[in-house]
């Protein structure tokens, strides 16, 4: 079963079960370190999840402001936009901007949803 659960907490759980089978006693007292390690791991996962959500919100808000500025330039400064839209440099810069948006969104989702949490060591 250890190949299915490569975590340190699972190994600690197996050690507690083996110790209980061999020596008996109060399993709750024996599993005190396991409970503490599990609580630390749970707190760590919650903290990473909250940080990921916060970063996703911050970046989404920044991109929202960027698009609002772009929309303002398009509609608020219509005369300026009409003179600039005919220039190839402006069109190329807009294309690079949207390419940057796509790359950054892909990077954000990769980091938020596929984040690898560091392996924690409980051999203290």
* pLDDT tens by residue, the chain, 124 residues: 667 766 777 888 888 888 888 888 888 888 888 888 889 888 988 888 888 888 888 888 988 998 898 888 778 878 877 787 788 888 898 889 889 888 888 887 777 766 555 545 544 4
pTM recorded for the entire structure: 0.54
CA gap 19, 115 in Å, rounded: 35
User: What CA dihedral angle connects 29, 30, 33 and 35, to 10 degrees?
Assistant: -70
Residue 62: which region, alpha, beta or left (left: phi > 0; alpha: psi -120 to 50)? alpha
- Which of helix, strand or coil describes residue 86? coil
Domain residue extents for the chain: 53-113
CA gap 114, 38 in Å, rounded: 22
């Amino acid at each position: 079963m250890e190949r299915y659960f490569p975590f340190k907490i699972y190994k600690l759980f197996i050690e507690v079960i083996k110790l209980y089978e061999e020596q008996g006693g109060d399993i709750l007292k024996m599993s005190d370190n396991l409970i503490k390690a599990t609580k630390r791991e749970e707190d760590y996962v919650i903290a990473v999840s909250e940080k990921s959500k916060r970063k996703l919100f911050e970046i989404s808000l920044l991109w929202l402001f960027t698009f609002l500025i772009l929309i303002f330039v398009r509609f608020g400064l219509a005369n300026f936009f009409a003179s600039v839209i005919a220039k190839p440099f402006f069109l190329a810069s807009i294309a690079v901007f949207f390419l940057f948006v796509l790359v950054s969104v892909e990077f954000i989702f990769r980091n938020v949803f596929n984040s690898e949490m560091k392996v924690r060591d409980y051999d203290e």
